[in-house]
Amino acid sequence: MIDTEIEEEINRQINEEMYSAYLYLSMSAHFESLGLKGFANWMYVQYQEEMDHAMKFYRYLHERGGKVRLYALKEPPHEWKSPLHAFEETLKHERHITERINFLVDLAERKKDRATFNMLQWYIDEQVEEEANDEEIIARLKLIGESAQGLLMLDSELGQRVYVPLVQEGK
Ligand code: FEO
């Protein structure tokens, strides 16, 4: 049986990951409304990945005999000043998620819950990748500046991103 404090914090993390999904789906809808189909695709893939992150915690809690509780989701913003602004907000949000994962790791360590500690290592690696992806796109958007041509080229590139389900990856 899983420790009740860890159970509660994993339930909070399911909510955090689902909010991440909701936020990125809102960004995807925003980019769709601007005709930036590639940015919309990138954010839609991100939304799908976040649902996977939530469901990985969901499955884990069941495996450990815990009870999943789904809490209310916050309403995400609907507008961003520019693609750069949206990606800066994405990075800020991912840094917050990284802090949450680090907090969970510390809690698992304090409670000597090695299974949870072990499961969380996947999320540590995932956060490194997520922050790096956002940083790279932010750097490119800064280089592009006001160039519409540069923005459309990046849009076309971001349109190539393909969702790979976690279950298919065997994770
Ligand atoms: Fe699931 Fe982007 O953190």
Predicted TM-score of the model (pTM): 0.95
Nearest to 157 by CA among 126, 133, 128: 133
Q: Tell me the per-residue pLDDT of 77-105, one tens digit each, with 9 for 90 and over.
A: 999 999 999 999 999 999 999 999 999 99
> Which pLDDT tens digits describe the chain residue by residue (171 residues)?
899 999 999 999 999 999 999 999 999 999 999 999 999 999 999 999 999 999 999 999 999 999 999 999 999 999 999 999 999 999 999 999 999 999 999 999 999 999 999 999 999 999 999 999 999 999 999 999 999 999 999 999 999 999 999 877 766
Atom of ligand 1 nearest to the CA of 93: 2
Atom of ligand 1 nearest to the CA of 50: 1
3-class state of residue 11 by DSSP? helix
Nearest to 122 by CA among 134, 104, 139: 104
Q: How far is the CA of 50 from the centre of ligand 1 (A)?
A: 5
Ligand 1 contact via 86 beta carbon (within 6 Å): no
Sequence-ordered list of residues with C-beta below 8 angstroms from that of 45, at least 6 positions apart, any chain: 161, 162, 163
- Structural domain boundaries in the chain: 4-158
131, 98 Cβ separation under 8 angstroms = yes
Ligand 1 contact via 158 beta carbon (within 6 Å): no
Ligand 1 contact via 50 beta carbon (within 6 Å): yes
- pLDDT for res 1: 87
Determine the Cα angle at 17 with ends 164 and 113, to 5°: 100
* CATH architecture for the domain at 4-158: Up-down Bundle (1.20)
The alpha-helical segments, DSSP class H, found in the chain are 4-34, 37-63, 83-110, 114-144, 148-158, 166-169
Atom of ligand 1 nearest to the CA of 127: 3
